Amino acid sequence: MREPKSSEASPHQVGEAWEEFVQEQVYPEPGKKAKEDYRNYDNPARDTVRRFYEENHRKQTYDFVQAKRAEFLQLNRREMGVFEACEYLNTLVDDSDPDIDLDQLQHLLQTSEAIRADGHEDWFVLTGLLHDLGKVLCLYGEPQWCVVGDTFPVGCRFSDRIVYSEYFDQNPDSRDSRYNTKLGVYEQGCGLRNVLMSWGHDEYLYHVMKDYLPEPALYMIRYHSFYAWHREHEYDWLCDDHDRAMLPWVKKFNPYDLYSKSPKPPNWEELRPYYTDLVAKYLPAAIAF
């Protein structure tokens, strides 16, 4: 199949390609060059992902993130219930998706059902159901490079442990003395809550859900794509003790998101009563997005 150009790839294609890419990564050991250690780094099948990250790393600046937060965090786009949001998100499904032809609700159910099967708390199960709903940003006209993908702090030096970190050379913040030092605009141990993360579905959904869910669930939502932190052990210098206490929850969630996919769809009609009650326990009927 012809590899689409970045402008041709649908948000769903890019999202699936990114998740598939993350699953296959062998992250580099400290002190080694990324190009020597990333599996499939030069694989032509990853051209869509490579182009995605080139655009993402070039454009995710401190000023850009501030502008997006001002634009979207008023949460005045629309009000929806959880299942209405899932149906809205399902319009992202693309027949050309080479990975799996399940809609977004089915992917979310697979994640949450895997968590439930392991006997975790009900709010953890709910987090599995909710974690990708922030991708409705695509349906507001946002390009895929600022909706999906690994997330990272802006306003300080970009870590070379971020995937495709060489593309940060094209980011103007990498040449700005305000932003290109280890701490940048932050203070040692300031806490991640005081750090601006690159804009995407994780940060957006955190603000949508922050009044409703337990703190570990909010960390899972907000930082599950922050691989440089929870897998590469970077940016600890920005963390406080609360962040470190929450880190195991983020790590616990991540495998369910990445490895729960199956071509067999969940039976929604059988699962509907359980999830209807679960959603009603924690969330209002209408949520501001």
Report pLDDT for 49. Answer: 84
Q: Is residue 5 part of a domain?
A: no
d(CA 21, CA 72): 28
Quote the distance between the C-alpha of residue 227 and its chain's center: 10
Lowest mean pLDDT among 48-57, 155-164, 233-242: 48-57
Taking 90 as the threshold, does the pLDDT of residue 28 lie above it? no
> Helix 241-259 to helix 11-24 angle, to the nearest 10 degrees?
110
d(CA 264, CA 286): 30
Taking 80 as the threshold, does the pLDDT of residue 43 lie above it? no
Q: Is residue 4 part of a domain?
A: no
Q: What share of the chain is helix, strand, coil (3-state, %, to 5)?
A: 55, 0, 40
Q: Is residue 251 part of a domain?
A: yes
Using alpha carbons only, how large is the chain's radius of gyration in Å?
18
In sequence order, which residues have a C-beta less than 8 Å from that of residue 142 and are 6 or more positions away?
none
Average pLDDT rounded to a whole number, residues 40-57:
74
Q: Is residue 6 part of a domain?
A: no
Mean of pLDDT over the chain = 84
Our count of domains for the chain comes to 1
Report pLDDT for 48. Answer: 81
Report pLDDT for 1. Answer: 33
**C-beta atoms surrounding 88 within 10 Å:** 16
Q: Is residue 122 part of a domain?
A: yes
More confident residue, 55 or 258: 55
Report pLDDT for 205. Answer: 98
CB burial readout 134-146, b (16+ within 10 A) else e: bbbbbbeebbbbb
Going from the C-alpha of 87 to that of each of 103, 110, 111, 121, the distances in angstroms are: 9, 16, 17, 25
Taking 70 as the threshold, does the pLDDT of residue 31 lie above it? no
Phi, psi of 288 (to 5 degrees): -80, 125
Q: Is residue 107 part of a domain?
A: yes
**What are the pLDDT digits (tens) for 227-248?**
999 999 999 999 999 999 999 9
Q: Is residue 173 part of a domain?
A: yes
**What are the pLDDT digits (tens) for 265-287?**
788 889 999 999 999 999 999 99
Confidence of residue 22 (pLDDT cuts 50, 70, 90): low
Q: What is the domain extent for residue 96?
A: 11-288
**What are the pLDDT digits (tens) for 246-257?**
999 999 999 998
Q: Is residue 92 part of a domain?
A: yes
What is the identity of the amino acid at 210?
K
Taking 80 as the threshold, does the pLDDT of residue 117 lie above it? yes
